[in-house]
Amino acid sequence: MPNVTLLSILAVTLTGYFSCMWVTKMITGRGNDIVTGIINGVPVSRRERWLMLITDWLSWVALQVSLLIILGLGILEIARGAGEPRVALIGYMCCIMCGFGAVFWTILGGVLFTNMMRIIRETARS
């Protein structure tokens, strides 16, 4: 008989992984638009790039961090209810993975945000 708790942990982890990879693709795509200043072959103004950075790109990064925190806490709660220690251990490892992802995106988001602000400012001067 399959362990329902283990299957739940694995299902939530895999679904979360693919969701986060999709959000990462969105973050990267919008970041490229902001850095190059070109969307679908059309140049955009400095003001539009600032707006995309603040309202669009930053929203995606906040979503990514929030999603990872929520997934990690959800998996933690599933793992705490596991009857077998090995299943709980797998849940705790998945929770830690989500936590590392949230910390990674928090740091990376800050670095990329600062870099994109610098690029927009420098582009505006030239």
Q: Is the pLDDT of residue 126 over 70?
A: no
Q: Which residue has the higher pLDDT, 1 or 58?
A: 58
Q: In terms of Cα–Cα distance, which of 5, 117, 118, 23 is closest to 68?
A: 23
Stretch 98-104: mean pLDDT: 97
Q: Is the pLDDT of residue 115 over 80?
A: yes
Helix axes 58-80, 4-36, angle to 10 degrees: 170
Q: Is the pLDDT of residue 1 over 60?
A: no
Sorting pLDDT into bands at 50, 70 and 90, what band is 3?
confident
Sorting pLDDT into bands at 50, 70 and 90, what band is 124?
low
Would you kindly state where each structural domain of the chain is located, as residue ranges?
Answer: 4-125
